[in-house]
Amino acid sequence: MKNGLPLRRGEARAVFKAYVHARQHRKRGGRVKSSREIASDLNGLRSHATILKWMGQDFPRIRGMMRQEESSQREDASLESEQDSHEDRMLAETLGYLEEARKLCRGIQDPVRRGEMIAEAEAIVAAMKVQGDWVPFELGF
């Protein structure tokens, strides 16, 4: 592959088969590489689509493993996206409640009642701080 001459079709397929037989299609830990990773390892010898086609023709069991890996990665990404979306909704709702509490606070003129409300708000903030890791956020007031 390094002599500067392009490989013929049969030679390229032979390189691909040798790559798989040498178990280079696996990552550390035994997981199967994606077709894009394999194409990159083979220095763009053929496109990732061709790699998938050849894998299906020459090594159908490995192609099945690649499908399972792809499906698993899509599921993981979907779960992460759902979690992020859920947290975004919770954050928006919580911030809405806090804004409503700030507005309602204006109507309390009695210093004792106002102090009671502030003490409760501070207790809630203290509890929020110990519920999990957090990063200070600067508001632009």
What is the model's pLDDT at position 140? 54
pLDDT tens figures, 94-113: 888 888 888 888 899 999 99
Q: Is the pLDDT of residue 141 over 90?
A: no
More confident residue, 108 or 87: 108
Q: Output the pTM of the full model.
A: 0.50
Question: Which sequence spans correspond to the domains of the chain?
Answer: 9-58, 86-130
Alpha helices in the chain (DSSP H): 9-21, 35-41, 48-58, 60-105, 111-130
CA–CA distance, 23 with 59 (Å, rounded to integer): 12
Q: Give me the residue label for tokens 């493993």.
A: 65
Cβ burial of 45 (10 Å; 0-12, 13-18, 19+) is: buried
Q: What is the mean pLDDT of residues 132-137?
A: 85
pLDDT tens figures, 10-69: 888 999 999 999 999 898 888 889 888 999 998 888 888 899 899 899 998 998 888 888
Amino acid at site 59: F
